[in-house]
A and B are shown apart, each in its own frame.
Chain A
Amino acid sequence: MPPPRCQLCPLPAALLRPRCGTPLCRHCFMLRFEAELLGSITRAPGARGPVPAPGSTVAVAASGGKDSTVLSHLLQRFAPRLHLRLALVSVDEGIAGYREAALEAVREGRGGAPLLVLSHRDLFGWSVDEVAAALGAGSRCTFCGVLRRQALERAARLLGANCIATGHNADDIAETLLMNFLRGDVARLRRAAWEGGAGPTEGPMESPTEGPIESPMESPTEGPIETGRRTKTPMGSTKDPMKTSKDPIETSRSSIGVPVGSPTAPSPIETSKDPMGTTKDPMDTTKDPMDTSKGPMGTTKDPMKTPKDPMKTPKDPTDTSKDPIETSRSSIGVPVGSPTAPSPIETSKDPMGTTKDPMDTSKGPMGTTKDPMKTPKDPMKTPKDPTDTSKDPIETSRSSIGVPVRSPTAPSPIETSKDPIETCKGPMGTSRDPMKTPKDPMKTPKGPTDTPKDPMGALLSLMGLPPSSGPTEATPGRAKAPRKAPPRPAAVPAALPARGRPWAPVPRCKPLRHACEKEIVLYAHFRRLRYVSAECAHAARAFRGHARALLKALEAARAAAVPALGHSGRRLRVGGAGGGGAWRELRACARCGFAASRGLCQACVLQGALQRGRPRLALGKRGLEEVMGEGGARGHGAGVRGAVDPRAGVEVEVVGAGGRSLRRRVVGLGRARGALNIWDF
């Protein structure tokens, strides 16, 4: 029997599309397939779900399997046209005999995109094989999956991605639906149904609300300083930071109108500052007026303000609008008055807060490239200042680029705004500046010169110009190295979440959601893409296997059953609680600050249960109470083993676009957006 003719051209068909039975020749099929993917990431009519906006950054979850290989191949083809910036993210779960080959395939087949590899072992302290050993017989796939999603989330945040693209295909979605139905997982059924409709909107704000908790997390970077911070935190400054941080952001937005800038750095920095600040107190008072004035003024005023305070003057200019030149000047000036100089700004915040001030000031510069300014705060830093100043030109150039965007938002306005607030609040006030981020980042960009302190920082291009917010590195020496979260490219919404709100989860999109598995395999075959198809050693125990078996049988009975299941899943009307709203409001996980529907996110619950040596508990309903009850939300309990100290930083593997592979140590992984500029490697 001769093959039927291609529906679109006179050639003999090479396949019948499983979804609709259309005969297509090989070439038409590939064009069609690509067009469909393109349609699904560019708001084709009727398209749903998050779609990466042009100019945004997409983290592609790459496992090395067929789906993600095809996905990354296609996205890389379309990225220039859609003005997307891509990075691959792989997670090494630590499954012997399974992941190694796949990771190798990802490294080889990654095309031009940089790759970031995280591992469960480094991130959470447990590889899946170890979890399996601890669990005995039982579903380790739950652990693996939950942790993997968390890892992806953190990686995406680290990279400053606006969107995570995963390779889920129509078969996966149908399989998940069947599995959830067989298990009676109503919550997930409901969520899937709503994702089919309108996905969750990304909250404008990101930062986790709980200052105290966060601060320990982040502070880790700054070893010596941290201790100081912590001691202070009890002082009460912690609360304020939250509020203050919010306010500044808002103020900055309102005044400047640029939402972008204030990303996120958590308060910890501020807390650390506190000790510093005490000295500053006198200064503060003077500053306050200054700051307040600044707030309204916005960036432009800064120069003006600076004059007001002898101390501050140098800084202020740096803060915002002044530009490289001013910054340089200020930087120069700073060294002299530096100890005092930082204080003024901060001082305004609080007597208490004074400690922060240095930080803030540092931030200010950071945002605008003022770094030199900040350094002055500490006698320690003063030495830096010169370096900074030297850097300034460079930075200024950068800053000039960044300035238009950021500077408005630049920390200084924020800080200023805070100050008044803080003052009212009282001693507490200082704790967080969103801006704080990182001196470090600043330094790193500046370069080698600063770096002596941070070996790490130099390596990391953390500071990456555009994405600035990450406090990623801890510069041990520079405890205070405040970090400032530089504003990201305009496309990225600013990220400070309101108090009590979680970091907004990075939206996920599934560009292949309508592609059948068979078509993906065919496409990979036609394009000669190399992928790994290994079965995970633990998969045999997963309940998902039953759902998969059913799906395969259904597909054999009627090929259209797969898309039909997808349709059913999107159309399910799950009643019960929150019938209309459907989305339970997400809170911030008390440990990690990421979105959680309960007190702790599931990843932290699992981790906690593992540390406690009772991993099975986490799978049950009592897991949360168990984990929260004992160690408390903050405590890191006496881990049986494997407790990851977040302060220690996490080692990640970075493969740059050029193919250079490095292992980097990143601190505060995922806390701030865009801390790691992987594209400059």
Chain B
Amino acid sequence: MCEAAGDGGGCGADMGPARRRRGAAQSDCFREYFVHKFRAMLGKSRIIFPGEKVLLAVSGGPASSAMLRQVQEGLSRETAKKLRFIPSVIYVDEGAVRGQSLAQREQSLACMETLLQATGFPYYLVHLEQALELPASILQPGPVTPSEPGVSYKEAVEGFIQQERQKGNGDKDSGTSLPGPVSGESPEGPPAAPRLPPAALTQELLKLFEAVQTLTAKEELLQMLRIHLILQTARTKGYTKVMTGETCTRVAVKLLTNLALGRGAFLAVDTGFKDNRHGDVMVVRPLREYMAKEIAFYNHFFNVPTVIAPPLPTKRRDKPSIRHVVENFLMELQEDFPSTISTVYRTGEKLSADRTKPSCESERCLLCLCALDLDGEEELALEPTLIIDDAELEKNGCCHDPPAAGAERKSAYIPLLCYGCRLTFKELGPVTTLPPYVRAEAQRRIHSVYPLQCRDAAAESGGSTGGQGAWQELKAEGQGEPPAPFGVGKGAGTPRAMGPWSHPGPPPPPQLSITLVGLSFVLLDICINKPFELIIQKINQQNQHHGKCL
């Protein structure tokens, strides 16, 4: 039975065939249901004000295309039910990092352009390469929009309706013309000849991506650049809201992915309906309640055109990204337990976003702009996030060097980042390949924070960290239980490079008091470069021979 209305309403027609056969009446019900969900989502949240300029982030995929169609339909309705915001569309061309050739890129751009032109909204075509030219200010939250706190949503709506009426009386055309076909306005050059960015920029972008060590980090980086680009466009063109087309399925995947990335503290911000960490521009996810399957049906029934972008190129020995792993897992589990995705989604709903707003700059993550989530964390828990910088060891303590020298070291970035971003950042390439705006902002932050940082470092260098302290104690007491196979001198036990920014002095030169037995083993092992396991076994045997037990 068709129960599109959810309360026993609907048309009562047989539902199964409706979905498959595209019968006129039945698909109307589906459409009603679909549209209602979209409008209800926007309506109950009350954050899109009438007359507000909204930027729709469209990738050409099924979800964002469906979202575009929804907005289109919403705006073309009769006045009472009409959506009242002013949409524009932005498309980010990622062909360069997705391994498309120039011709392919041209082609998909043209394809996308005709598609966007057909919608009649103003649109922007942006290339990912332009991310390299972003200003550093993109990494700072903008000032909160003044309009929101001032006026209540209800007042704003009523005021807008009044205006519309007056306008309608005076000049009928101008009232409705806002969303009208104004494709010529497209700020990104003439639609006829989409220009690709200069090859040099493309090369630089490719270099950035190739230096990234893992697919996981690549995806994270791409996501970051994309959102920054969209954000920049929104800011410069005066948009206060950005809509992205993340479906329920995608949200569930992202929840688990971000959990595994160590971003547990920010799940609500990363996946919630609204994301206002950027201050002036709010990211809204109106498709959160649609399953990917519903979207697919919708697109299929109503002939919503989509453009498929190829995935990030992978090499054979690349490990799958965390997102791939999670996605595959969820899809498989969904088959056995059909409620898996919605369960994960609903679990995510119960997370709250409080305390993710940083109170000051020094508490804000450089990349994701969330409040740092590292206070009060155990030292051992932070160990995976630290970078051991060899260059740093050779210098005599960063604190006495001019910070300018240290700022370009990778480890200098670590204190600026949250847990999840640290892990990702570790897998990015050398600092010199990073986008200029990230480097510029980091430089600024490092300089401004420098005095404070030095103090921290001094304090930290005083007491060695817990595990190491205990360890040294262990060694000092000579209780390292089995007699050390090789007499390891004191120097070897000195903690090295645990905190990236705490290195008060040069590490003492290794003083090895190598016993005869130890020496013989060292020589033996160095001569024969067998796999580790063999060496270990050998040492064990030897030790047993000597009556020692490792």
Task: List residues of chain A with CB under 8 Å of any chain B CB.
Answer: 1-3, 7-15, 19-20, 22, 26-28, 30-32, 34-36, 38-40, 42, 44-48, 77, 177-178, 181-186, 189, 197, 514, 526-528, 546, 549-550, 553-554, 556-558, 560-561, 563-576, 579
Contacts and interface: CB of A to CB of B under 8 A. Distances in A.
A573 B381 contact: no
A3 B532 contact: yes
B151 interface: no
A546 B333 contact: yes
11 contacts: A9-B510, A9-B512, A12-B535, A26-B539, A38-B474, A44-B467, A514-B378, A549-B329, A570-B377, A574-B351, A575-B351
B386 interface: yes
Contacts of A35: 467-468, 470-471, 473-474
Given A19-B383, A26-B550, A44 B378 contact: yes
Chain B binding surface SS class: helix
Interface string B371-395: 0010011111101101010000000
B265 interface: yes
Nearest to B324: A557
Contact of B466 (A44, A526, A570, A575): A44
Interface residues of B, number: 82
Nearest to A543: B337
Contact of B325 (A27, A197, A557, A563): A557
B329 A550 contact: yes
Interface in B325-366: 325-326, 328-329, 333, 340, 343-344, 346-347, 350-356
Given A20-B386, A182-B343, 5 more contacts: A44-B379, A45-B379, A46-B379, A558-B322, A564-B260
Interface stretch (B304-312, B437-445, B480-488): B480-488
Contacts of B492: 8-10, 28
A45 B475 CA distance: 19
Nearest to A577: B350
Given A26-B539, A549-B329, A556-B319, A564 B384 contact: yes
Contacts of B275: none
B436 interface: no
B469 interface: yes
A184 B264 contact: no
Which interface residue of B263, B384, B466, B549 has the most chain A CB atoms within 10 A?
Answer: B384
A182 B345 CA distance: 9
A567 B344 contact: no
A14 B354 CA distance: 44
A185 B481 CA distance: 43
Contacts of A7: 388, 496
B264 A12 contact: no
A556 B216 CA distance: 12
A554 B261 CA distance: 10
B516 interface: no
Contacts of A40: 378, 380
B393 to A, nearest CB: 11
Contact of B381 (A9, A561, A567): A567
B265 A571 contact: yes
B161 interface: no
Contact of A13 (B265, B325, B386, B532): B532
Q: Which 7 A-B pairs have the closest CB atoms?
A: A568-B264, A44-B466, A575-B352, A35-B471, A564-B262, A571-B265, A9-B492
A514 B470 CA distance: 16
B526 interface: yes
B164 interface: no
Contact of A550 (B263, B325, B536): B325
B321 A576 contact: no
Nearest to B477: A81
Contacts of B326: 550, 554
A572 B265 contact: yes
Contacts of A572: 264-265, 267, 351
A564 B419 contact: yes
A551 B83 CA distance: 44
Contacts of A528: 549
B271 interface: no
B264 A570 contact: yes
Contacts, number: 235
Contact of A560 (B352, B384, B510): B384
A575 to B, nearest CB: 3
B3 interface: no
Contacts of A47: 378, 466
B420 interface: yes
A553 B327 CA distance: 11
Contact of B471 (A10, A31, A48, A576): A31
Contacts of A183: 343
B320 interface: yes
B169 interface: no
Contacts of A12: 525-526, 532, 535
Contact of B380 (A178, A514, A527): A514
B463 interface: yes
Contacts of A44: 378-380, 465-467, 469-470
B259 A182 contact: no
B256 interface: yes
B147 interface: no
A39 B380 contact: yes
A38 B472 CA distance: 11
B319 A568 contact: no
B363 to A, nearest CB: 14
Interface in B66-95: none
Contact of A565 (B262, B346, B354, B355): B262
A16 to B, nearest CB: 10
Contact of B350 (A8, A514, A574): A574
Given A11-B522, A15-B532, A39-B467, A181 B256 contact: yes
A42 B473 CA distance: 13
B134 interface: no
A568 B262 contact: yes
Contacts of A560: 262, 384, 423
Given A184-B347, A564-B423, A579-B352, A10 B267 contact: no
B240 to A, nearest CB: 26
A560 B532 CA distance: 22
B518 to A, nearest CB: 9
A46 B374 CA distance: 11
Which interface residue of B256, B350, B373, B463 has the most chain A CB atoms within 10 A?
Answer: B350
B255 interface: yes
Contacts of A13: 532
B265 A27 contact: no
Nearest to A515: B380
B256 A178 contact: yes
B502 interface: no
Given A564-B419, A571-B264, A573-B354, A557 B321 contact: yes
A26 B325 contact: no
Contacts of A197: 376
A42 B384 contact: no
Nearest to A4: B532
A66 to B, nearest CB: 18
Nearest to B497: A7
A575 B512 CA distance: 55
A561 B260 contact: yes
A27 B514 CA distance: 14
A557 B265 contact: no
A569 B471 CA distance: 28
B217 to A, nearest CB: 9
A576 B350 contact: yes
A9 B532 contact: no
B429 interface: no
Contacts of A571: 264-265, 373, 419
B493 interface: yes
Contact of B352 (A1, A46, A178, A574): A574
A27 B467 contact: no
B216 A557 contact: yes
Contacts of A48: 376, 378
